[in-house]
Every structure is written in structure tokens, then in C-alpha cells.
Amino acid sequence: MEYAIVKTGGKQYKVLKDSVIEVDRLDFKPGEKFSFKEVLLYVEGDKIKLGRPMLNDVQVTATVLEHFKGKKLRIAKFKAKSRYRKVTGHRQYLTKIKIIDILTAVKN
């Protein structure tokens, strides 16, 4: 099994070829292709390439499927004996992407 660990939006994601993942909003239009700049790890079978801190010879390409808002989070604040109650909400802006290919210098 071939996969890579990429970093985007301050988080790390395990990506496989043809997988669909949801990440924080990216500045690309739907249908646009791009590649991740920060690839941290690449695994193919029992071969492991670990970046220190990044891998320069591995490229993960993806395409943007859609932009959407995540599910609503409810945040409640409460202070006892003072009649203080406050409820707010938050919806994160997300992007759904599909991983097209994981390219290494050996494959090219």
C-alpha cells in the first residue's frame, strides 16, 4: 500500500491515491489542480521515506471538488450564581479534495 502524510492548514493528513479528504479552506477554485508543498512521509510497501522536515522528491497532486461549510459547533458559556449564560456557534469553512497521484523521483 502506498500513502503519504501531507501538512496543510496546520494539520497533517494521511492520503492515498484516489482518496477524498476534507481540509481547511484552500485558495483554489473547484476543478483546479494543485500539489502539496509540505510532504512529511512517504510509504510504499515496507520502504519508508521520512522527511527532515520535508521530502523534496515526493509530490502529491490533488484537485478541488468543492468548497462548503462544516457542521455547526455549539459553544455555551455559563457562570454559576450570576445568571450569565451565553451560547454562540461556529461553522468552519472546508474544502473537499481528491488525491490524483503520489509521484516520486523514482517514478518520473
Contacts of 77 (CB under 8 A, 6+ apart): 84, 85, 86, 87, 88
Region of poorest pLDDT, from 16-20, 38-42, 65-69, 104-108: 104-108
Report the alpha-carbon distance of residue 8 to residue 89 in Å, rounded: 24
| pLDDT score recorded for residue 107 | 54
In angstroms, what is the C-alpha Rg of the chain? 19
Region of poorest pLDDT, from 18-22, 83-87, 103-107: 103-107
Using the predicted structure, report yes or no on whether residue 41 has a pLDDT greater than 70: yes
pTM of the model: 0.85
